[in-house]
Structure 1
Amino acid sequence: MVTNKSKRFITFCSYAVLIIVGIIMIYPLLWMISATFKNNTEIFTNMGLIPQNPTFEGYKNAMKSYGGNINILQAILNTFKIVIPKVIFTVISSTIVAYGFGRYNFKGKNLMFSLMISTLFLPQVVLNVPQYTMFTKLGWVNSPLYLPLIVPTLFAVDTYFVFMLIQFLRNIPKDLDEAAKIDGCNDWKILTKVIVPMLRPAMVSCALFQFMWSSNDFMGPLLYVKTPANLPATIFVKLSMDADAGFDWNRILALSLISIIPSLIVFFAAQSQFVDGISAGGVKG
């Protein structure tokens, strides 16, 4: 039998390990924040978190325009113009497709599901050339509405989210569907009034993943956005680096920090729903 002292010792060790691991994990972020207040010399010579000669030049220069008539705030706004529609359309389309696979039996269902799952193993790099050719012929490249980045999400092209929602949907008893039909609900009402409320944690998880991935997407905007004023934050931060003339690292780090603040806010705001969604996905009903 484990004594109270042993329990306290185990608890102490557990928390000690978690604190040490947490410090190790968060140290790079803390160092990046402190480095925004250092000059180039101190950045490369001082690994401490407290700047010896604090300066705000990094943030002042970060607000300047680089690579055309655009600054970091406009770049973040452009990022939202891409990310928000992608998140909304991805959640809607993936939910509808998952509902079809999870609740209906139709001819060729297993084959179609297998083909859909097989696309998970298809690297995006092999699709870049045919997709770019198709979007060029459609005249969507450099569209101010970011059509090549947004329109595909209307068709549930992110297989991972569809599969994830199907797994959640399998945990919802079909008896609820039958009860709703007895009450006079059609298929659309069953989806919106019964299924969607129970899928909300999973849908929040999908939205959060899509928000993070789209916010960090570099290749997509690099291929399809040509006008400097329409560039998102990922491309803007890269273009603000002048490899020939050199650059101030505090400005680059300040730009990076400013660009990830929206993602951090969204993640912590949706953290509880995200954890609920992940936890629910690991329990079979």
Structure 2
Amino acid sequence: MGAPTLAVSRRPSGVARGIVRTLILVAILGIVLYPLIWMVGTSLKSQTEITSNTGLLPEQFTPSNYTDGWNHFDVSFARFFANSTMVALLTVVGNAASCLVAAYAFARLRFPLRGFWFAIMIGTLLLPQHVLTVPQYILFKQFGWVGGDWPYVPLLVPQFLATEAFFVFLMVQFMRGIPRELDEAAKIDGANAFGIFRYVILPLSRPALVTTAIFSFIWTWNEFFRQLVYLSDLRDYTLPVAMTLFIDSSGQSSIGPMFAMSVLSLLPVFLFFVAFQRMLVEGINTSGLKG
């Protein structure tokens, strides 16, 4: 008779813990989403209301901020979207291809000083990007890549040379978790190093590739400093650089259109993340935790 009573007495406490847990999660979600909601609300406020109304919702909706921001410059904002999309997609291709090949060499091939060169590569993660900007700019200037007919060369060429040590390390750790018996079986079937890479490593590295692609796209889409350094023509600007043009030299700014374009610039990243969210979680769970 005592056991059912004990089970019934425990049930309300379990429900209470569930309610408290839900309330905590809702509170955290509200804190996280508050800046985004505030930005969307501000994009619909007039110029005068932005400075006077700090609430989430506008008192008077001003959807014209979106059309004003889209046509604010001599170049349509669609041009900036196209530039950012091109740079981000080519960066994804370059990072995925080059880092995968470099990781295969470090993880599966034998060559002199392999451990030493791998340590040097990992050591580059300790260098801030701003420290490398000046020597890179001088080098690319000597190559004639800066200010040329296609100004995106300095931004894209390094991505095809496996310069992102983080992604190389991510893939190396993932490949170390792939059983070497598969390599031996492929060798018995007559496969060389390229055949092992093509038919064994590449198909099994899909989670690591997806993780690399997602982070490469998001980081490149939001990158500002390197794009500001190498892009000088208005028609070549990407979205992060174009956003700075809403503030002129006298300090006057078009805040409403700027927030409106900021909201639009977040949509591709949001949709990209939503589309590949499951693959991203799978890649994080299976990459970098083995070996």
Change (3 A) 1:184 1:137: same
Alignment of 1:56-205 (within 5 A): 56-66=63-73, 69-143=74-148, 144=150, 146-205=152-211
The aligned counterpart of 2:29 is 22
1:234-270 CA-to-partner distances (Å, cap 9, x unmatched) read: 1111112225262331111011111221111111111
More displaced 10-residue stretch of structure 1: 32-41 or 182-191:
182-191
Change (3 A) 1:49 1:65: closer
* Shift, 1:180, TM fit: 2.1
* Shift, 1:177, TM fit: 1.5
Greater Cα radius of gyration, structure 1 or 2: 2
The aligned counterpart of 2:3 is none
Q: Percent identity?
A: 35
Q: Give, as a single letter, the amino acid of the residue that structure 2 aligns with 1:130.
A: P
Alignment of 1:46-65 (within 5 A): 46-65=53-72
1:14-47 CA-to-partner distances (Å, cap 9, x unmatched) read: 2211111011100110111111110133223323
Q: Give, as a single letter, the amino acid of the residue that structure 1 aligns with 2:52.
A: T
- Give the aligned CA root-mean-square deviation in angstroms: 1.8
**Partners in 1 of 2:19 and 2:195 — Cα distance?**
51
Change (3 A) 1:252 1:65: closer
Change (3 A) 1:32 1:102: same
Q: Give, as a single letter, the amino acid of the residue that structure 2 aligns with 1:193.
A: Y
| 2:270 is the alignment partner of 1:276 | no
**TM-score after normalising by structure 1:** 0.93
Alignment of 1:237-276 (within 5 A): 237-244=243-250, 246-276=252-282
Aligned counterpart for 2:47 among listed residues 40, 46, 49: 40
The aligned counterpart of 2:11 is 4
**Partners in 1 of 2:205 and 2:255 — Cα distance?**
44
Q: Which runs of 5+ in 2 are unaligned?
A: 1-5
Change (3 A) 1:218 1:10: same
Change (3 A) 1:228 1:140: same
**Partners in 1 of 2:285 and 2:115 — Cα distance?**
27
Asked if 2 retains the 8 angstrom alpha-carbon contact of 1:39 and 1:248, the reply is no
Asked if 2 retains the 8 angstrom alpha-carbon contact of 1:94 and 1:156, the reply is yes
User: Which segments of structure 1 move beyond 6 Å, counting only runs of 4 or more?
Assistant: none
**Partners in 2 of 1:160 and 1:283 — Cα distance?**
14
Asked if 1 retains the 8 angstrom alpha-carbon contact of 2:207 and 2:287, the reply is no
The aligned counterpart of 1:227 is 233
Asked if 2 retains the 8 angstrom alpha-carbon contact of 1:205 and 1:273, the reply is yes
* Shift, 1:152, TM fit: 0.8
**Partners in 2 of 1:247 and 1:129 — Cα distance?**
30
**TM-score after normalising by structure 2:** 0.91
Asked if 1 retains the 8 angstrom alpha-carbon contact of 2:171 and 2:288, the reply is no
* Shift, 1:230, TM fit: 0.8
Asked if 2 retains the 8 angstrom alpha-carbon contact of 1:78 and 1:231, the reply is yes
**Partners in 2 of 1:4 and 1:204 — Cα distance?**
43
| 2:20 is the alignment partner of 1:13 | yes
* Shift, 1:90, TM fit: 0.6
